[in-house]
A and B are shown apart, each in its own frame.
Chain A
Amino acid sequence: MVDQLDAAKNGHAPVSVQSADSAAAVEAVPAEAGKASPSQITVLQRVKRLGFRAKATALAIAIATLPVLGIGTIAYKLANRSITNQIRENEERLAQTLSQKLASFMAERNGDMQILSSQPVLTTTAVRNATSSEERRAVLERFVEAYRVYDSIAIFDLNGSATLQSDQQSISKQSDQDYFRAALESDKVLISRPVRANSNEPYVIYLTAPIKESGNGKKIAIARAILPVRSLTDQLRDYRTGGAEFSVLDAGNQIFLSSQDSLIGRSAGEAYNQFSDMQSRRETNTRVIEQDSQTSKVHLFASYAPWVGGENVPDLGWGTILGTPTDLAFAPQRQLFWTFTLGTGAVAVLTGLLAAWLANRATRPILAATNAVQDLGAGKLDTRLTVKGDDELAMLGNNINVMAEQLQALLQNQAQSVQRSQFLSEVVVKIRRSLTFMNILQTGVDEVRSFLKSDRVVVYRFNPDYLSGTIEAESIAPGWTKGLGKIIDDPLELGAIDHYREGRIWAVEDVHNAKLSQRHCEILEGLQVQAHIVAPILQDKEVIGLLCAHQCSSTRHWTLEETELIGQIAIQMGYALDQADLLTQSQTARQVAEQLSDDQRQQKEALQMQLLQLLGEVEGAVEGDLTVRADVTANEIGTVADFFNSIVESLRQIVTQVKSAAVQVNDALGNDEQSVRQLSEDAMQQAEATNRTLNSVQQMVQSIQAVSSSARQAADVAKSAFSTAEAGGVAMELTVQNILGLRETIGETAKKVKRLGESSQQISKVVSLINQIAVQTNLLSINAGIEAARAGEDSQGFAVVAEEVGELAARSAAATRDIEQIVATIQRETSEVVEAMEQGTTQVVEGTRLVDNAKLSLEKILTVSQQIDQLVGSISQATVSQVETSQAVTSLMQNIVRSSGRTSESTLQVSESIRQTVAIAQELQNSVGTFKVS
């Protein structure tokens, strides 16, 4: 039911699907829904919700119209393609002819210029001279008029000045014009780019040709013709008919000629989108482009044709664009489209209508059948279909009608069976309510008779040997022979018991026509039985009797329901009998159990009495009286009493032992306490003694440390003495060195003093020499004086000089004497010095010896001080090791002190524990004392 509700929610009508199938369908749909998007779900649901008729109609229309539409579409596509190609080819052809026309026109102009430039009037000097300028101008004028395409023709000399012209207009000097310069350099006809003076002027093209002197071929002048673009326009007028648009571009892609005046002068790239794509193909090609003529934009189906060229014309690079507005170009195509659309649509609508009508006609019987089935489903079982014809649909209708009839019959049967089962359950309740054997049987027969409306119903109970039996219960309609209590001697055949045991029911419609044993027939006749039905009653899986319904008034057809019912009631009677049996059994069991519990209660009470007695006997043990004894009696408790006795005995023994042990413990503890106390005191004394020793050791350590420091000081002193002695030694060495140096110095000095003495002797020799000189000088001066005197007055000056010299000699002699004295003094003092020196040397030698002695003494001092140092070092080491040893001794002693302290503490603790133990032992003694053992 839930499934169906879910299905309804999801939009699937649970039409006639069985629950399992619908569950599957419901499961499948959410799975799909999970994948699809919400809009798809709704479309899908809507499609599924559509009725059969709508679906069939839609399908028929689809089948009828889709091929028509498909074929129409394909045909249109093909036709369209060929038309498009045709239009395209047409356009391209037009563009090419336009381009060709331009090329041939320009070729003609090329020829014109060649003819002009070769006119004898211009080329031959003789002819030129023979004609007047007016005549020559007339030639040019004729030329212009003959061709009707040129504006003017002029002849220029090589400097660019006009020498001849077809009209009267003044022409400025052309030498700096581009086209003119190109013409000067060229030998051929030249066609310039289309140019214009300004944007308002029309475009013109300059054609130039060189004029050569006949005979020598020398270039003498330039002929120039002005070709207005208008002349080209005139040539192309035909192309404008039919709505075509065209533009001609020069080599620079500038439009100089166009059917649209507004495009003239603009760049082709601006005027036509996609132009660059088209041009880059370098061949004629066609596509839809947009023409932007500034005032309006038009879509064109346009072709681009590049310059076709020719033999008589140079490559001008002119391009041509020719296009038709798309609405004009594609007008045939549109016509085709509408023709196809309308034709196909009309056919599709017609076929669709036809298909819908057919589908509607075909589905009508099915819809009728569906409605009928719906009505049946809603419970209207009277619904029937009107069946026409002979086809499958008619069969379906017939089948639905048959089904409806069967459903009605089934419902009736069901109602009857419900009624029967109600009756059966009522009967069962009644039977089960009767709890005794006879009641059950009586209720059974009464109920069966009231249901079957038969004349008699009995229960026939077999005797254990199955050879005979008794009618134990009977329900009978008034007026028929009673059979209750009758003993019937009708031995059962062997196989029959097995049949009955399997629950087989035996129905006889007419006893006279049934094949029955004679004995049985007689019995039945005795009871006026015409028809009967027999069902076995089984108690505890054994056949104990038969439930028999008799019809005495007439023969009777027993229906299947009646047969089944009597079978059911017989079975239920069997169950009720089993139940009654069980009830009896359980009642007996209860009585037995009650008896048993009575006995048990009495036993319990006796046991309790015995227990109370036992408790009374052993109660004293609770108070500590262990002399109690329970009587060992013959009853159950007797042995238990002895358990107590045994326990109390053991307790008695234990208590006795504990008592004596407690006393012993007390005594022993008293002794122990004394010993321990003694031990503790001893330990304390030991600790004190050790402490004292420790103090002594510490003092000793201090002394040793003092010795050590003294030794260290002595070592320092010895070391300083040593170093001093060493320094002394060095000083001595230096002294010796100095003394030796002194001796040498003295020696040297002595030598020098001696040399001084010798020098002074030489001085005295020199002095004596000087003295002799002074003497002789004096003599000379005197001689001189004499001579002077002899010489007269005139030699007076000379006499003065001689006097002077004499004086000098005298003074020299005096000085010499002084020197002699000084030298003598020097010599004397020198000898004294030498003497002193010698004495000094002797003293120095003596000093050296003394110093050596002192050095030896110092060395001895060094040795000694080294020895002292070593000794003191060893003393120091010894004291250090002594200190260490005494420290070890100290720590050992401290350990001893500590351990004796601990010993003392432990002994105190032990003592305390012993005291506590004594207390506990006394408590124990007191506790045990409460037990009475003898």
Chain B
Amino acid sequence: MGTVLVVEDTPSEMELLSHYLREGGYSVIGAVSAKEALNKAVELKPDVIVTDVVMPGMSGFELCRNLKKNPETQQVPIIICTSKGQEIDRLWGMRQGADAYITKPFTREKLIRTVQSVGG
């Protein structure tokens, strides 16, 4: 099973995501900001990155752009997991390089299926 980098500034959400993923058999790396996530993505080479959008400092969208700009992280699939559920948000997220877009609240199955679908 693969490694998933979870980027989430809300501890409870982080806990929930990590819990679901671990149950799904993934090993989870946590990052509480996008900056940290950028560094960890380069260092730890996760198989999938799951990120929130609304975060202080760098947003999830910007994180996506930066990951896609960097050749080392260019190939890593990204799943955006956010409470922003409008169509424009989804469209923008996919444009910024995300491979999948999940809106909160989500079920465990949905999360796992999405992670699997992007190749995790």
Contacts and interface: CB of A to CB of B under 8 A. Distances in A.
Interface of A: 629, 631-634, 636, 638-639, 642-643, 645-646, 649
A646 B96 contact: yes
A634 B54 contact: yes
Interface string B32-68: 0000000000000000000001111011111001000
B84 A646 contact: no
Closest 7 CB pairs of A and B: A632-B59, A642-B61, A634-B54, A639-B89, A639-B92, A632-B54, A639-B88
B92 A643 contact: yes
Contacts of B54: 632-634, 638
B119 to A, nearest CB: 26
B86 interface: yes
B27 interface: no
A89 to B, nearest CB: 133
Contacts of B89: 638-639
A632 B96 contact: no
Contacts of B92: 639, 642-643
Contacts of A638: 53-54, 59, 84, 89
A643 B93 CA distance: 11
B84 A634 contact: yes
A638 B86 CA distance: 11
A198 to B, nearest CB: 152
Contacts of A643: 92
Interface in B2-24: none
Contacts of A642: 59, 61-62, 92, 96
Given A632-B62, A638-B54, A638-B84, 7 more contacts: A634-B54, A634-B83, A638-B59, A638-B89, A639-B92, A643-B92, A645-B59
A631 B83 CA distance: 16
A649 B62 contact: yes
A874 B14 CA distance: 111
Contacts of A645: 59, 61-62
A643 B53 CA distance: 13
Given A638-B84, A639-B88, A642-B59, A632 B53 contact: yes
A640 to B, nearest CB: 8
A375 B74 CA distance: 110
A633 B62 CA distance: 13
B67 to A, nearest CB: 13
Nearest to A636: B86
B38 to A, nearest CB: 14
B109 to A, nearest CB: 25
Contacts of B62: 629, 632, 642, 645-646, 649
A629 B63 CA distance: 13
A643 B62 CA distance: 10
Interface residues on B, range: 10 to 19
A638 B90 CA distance: 12
Contacts of A636: 86
Nearest to B56: A631
Contacts of B65: 646, 649
Nearest to A646: B65
Nearest to A649: B65
Contacts of B55: 632
B2 to A, nearest CB: 28
Contacts of B96: 642, 646
Nearest to B92: A639
A649 B88 CA distance: 20
B114 to A, nearest CB: 20
Contact of B84 (A629, A631, A639, A649): A639
B56 to A, nearest CB: 8
A643 to B, nearest CB: 7
B62 to A, nearest CB: 6
Contacts, number: 42
Nearest to B53: A632
Contacts of A633: 54
5 contacts: A631-B56, A632-B60, A634-B83, A638-B59, A639-B84
Nearest to A633: B54
Contacts of A631: 56, 59
Contacts of B56: 631
Contacts of B60: 632
Interface in B71-100: 83-84, 86, 88-89, 92, 96
B85 to A, nearest CB: 10
Contacts of A639: 61, 84, 86, 88-89, 92
Most buried by B among A629, A632, A634, A643: A632
Contacts of A634: 54, 83-84
A347 B58 CA distance: 137
A635 to B, nearest CB: 9
A633 B65 CA distance: 18
B44 to A, nearest CB: 25
Contacts of B61: 632, 639, 642, 645-646
Nearest to A632: B59
B82 to A, nearest CB: 8
Contacts of B59: 631-632, 638, 642, 645
A64 B104 CA distance: 121
A92 to B, nearest CB: 135
A136 to B, nearest CB: 178
Nearest to B58: A629
Nearest to A653: B69
Most buried by A among B54, B56, B59, B65: B59
A934 to B, nearest CB: 16
A349 B86 CA distance: 117
A413 to B, nearest CB: 72
A633 B52 CA distance: 11
A629 B83 CA distance: 21
Contacts of B88: 639
A501 to B, nearest CB: 50
A878 to B, nearest CB: 79
Nearest to B95: A646
A642 B54 CA distance: 10
Contacts of A632: 53-55, 59-62
Nearest to A650: B65
B21 to A, nearest CB: 23
Nearest to B54: A634
Nearest to B61: A642
A758 to B, nearest CB: 153
A472 B59 CA distance: 70
A643 B88 CA distance: 11
B87 to A, nearest CB: 10
Most buried by B among A629, A638, A649: A638
A629 B86 CA distance: 22
B46 to A, nearest CB: 22
Contacts of A646: 61-62, 65, 96
A629 B65 CA distance: 14
A905 B60 CA distance: 59
A643 B61 CA distance: 9
A638 B65 CA distance: 16
A633 B82 CA distance: 11
A652 to B, nearest CB: 12
A280 to B, nearest CB: 128
A98 to B, nearest CB: 144
A618 to B, nearest CB: 14
B113 to A, nearest CB: 25
Nearest to B90: A639
Interface in B95-118: 96
Contacts of B86: 636, 639
A646 B65 CA distance: 8
Nearest to B62: A645
A629 B61 CA distance: 12
B97 to A, nearest CB: 11
A100 B54 CA distance: 163
